[in-house]
Amino acid sequence: MQKTIGGLGEFALIRRVTSQFPRTDDVILGPGDDAAIVASPDGRTVATTDLLVEGRHFRREWSSARDVGHRAVAQNFADVVAMGARPTGLLIGFAAPADLPLAWAEEFTLGVRDECAIAGGAVVGGDMAGSDTLTIAITALGDLQGRAPVRRDGARPGDVVAYTGHLGLSAAGLALLTEGVDGPAACLDEHRRPSPPYASGPEAAHLGATAMLDVSDGLAQDLGHVCRGSEVGIDLDPALLAPEPALTEAVRILGGGAPRALAFMVSGGEDHALAATFPADTVLPDHWHRIGVVRAADPDDRYVTVAGKAPEQTGWDHFRQG
């Protein structure tokens, strides 16, 4: 008979799951007490939280439990590094139907463990509950290591806009899955297991980034937060938004040509690339791609444009899309 999480019991399940997580030097007291204790040498803690709801953020028929574990960590630690911080701790809220197979929960745990090993943080606690809908809530912590945080409100006219990581692959992967067609593994993999450039967040802070965020809801939509926070406008140059070969191949399969590839890059989201603004004279490493400029703007013009025009699509709407 297949074991389920409801049949095991909450505390037995928590012990079984948390035993999979190694600790790091940042964890003074890990899972097992009323609360964890995480070191904060900087004296400040970066904190963020996010939700994954089955049917809205992932589908079990498209993604394995390990995929979901990787994704849960990636989309949260991407926010931490986008502040210029180093990931330290992760807390997981896990609400699931009682008949969820125990094997699914254990595989999810392995995905979390493996992505934490990539990002550098550790699971320090969490909670479990019964729910009709499988829902995962993550709280991630980070350490600034003495650096000033890179916020969204520091961009200035004349700054350059650059990104690092992938743009458009995840959105193309989702389109391929939705249409039931096979496509480049790089697109499908990026949708199932985003690969944020974790080291590039602190790197950007060292390089003097004036504003930064991770691209979760679409490049144009997310950079729009920088525009409003910094009271500026941003113009992207489509000639500098060169699609990766996997994206070009996916669009060949899906149809739409170069305009659709550009739309995936500008409006797709969920690759969890990092986008940042830098002083114009900053010497950027090759993996940071310059794609536009920051311009002065009045209160009615704090928007992102592509070649001077508003993009046809901006990005993800959490209350309208599923």
Q: Tokens 């590094």 identify what position?
A: 81
Asked whether residue 48 is marked as a ligand-binding residue, the answer is yes
Asked whether residue 214 is marked as a ligand-binding residue, the answer is yes
Asked whether residue 34 is marked as a ligand-binding residue, the answer is yes
The CA distance from 298 to 232, in Å, is 7
Cβ-proximal residues to 144 (8 Å cutoff; 6+ apart), any chain: 42, 44, 46, 83, 84, 85, 86
Asked whether residue 217 is marked as a ligand-binding residue, the answer is yes
Asked whether residue 79 is marked as a ligand-binding residue, the answer is yes
- Residue 83: how many CB atoms within 10 A of its CB? 23
Choose among 217, 224, 251: nearest CA to 306.
224
Q: How far apart are the first and last CA of the chain?
A: 34
Q: Report long-range pairs for 60-63 (Cβ below 8 Å, ≥24 apart).
A: 60/104, 60/134, 62/177, 62/192, 63/192
Asked whether residue 127 is marked as a ligand-binding residue, the answer is yes
As to burial, measured by CB atoms within 10 angstroms (0-12 exposed, 13-18 middle, 19+ buried), residue 132 is exposed
Choose among 106, 124, 145, 126: nearest CA to 24.
124
| Spatial contact of 253 and 183, defined as CB atoms under 8 Å apart | yes
Asked whether residue 50 is marked as a ligand-binding residue, the answer is yes
For the annotated binding site for substrate, the residues are: 57, 270, 316
For the annotated binding site for ATP, the residues are: 126-127, 152, 216
For the annotated binding site, the residues are: 34, 48-50, 57, 79, 126-127, 152, 214, 216-217, 270, 316
For the annotated binding site for Mg(2+), the residues are: 34, 48-50, 79, 127, 214, 217
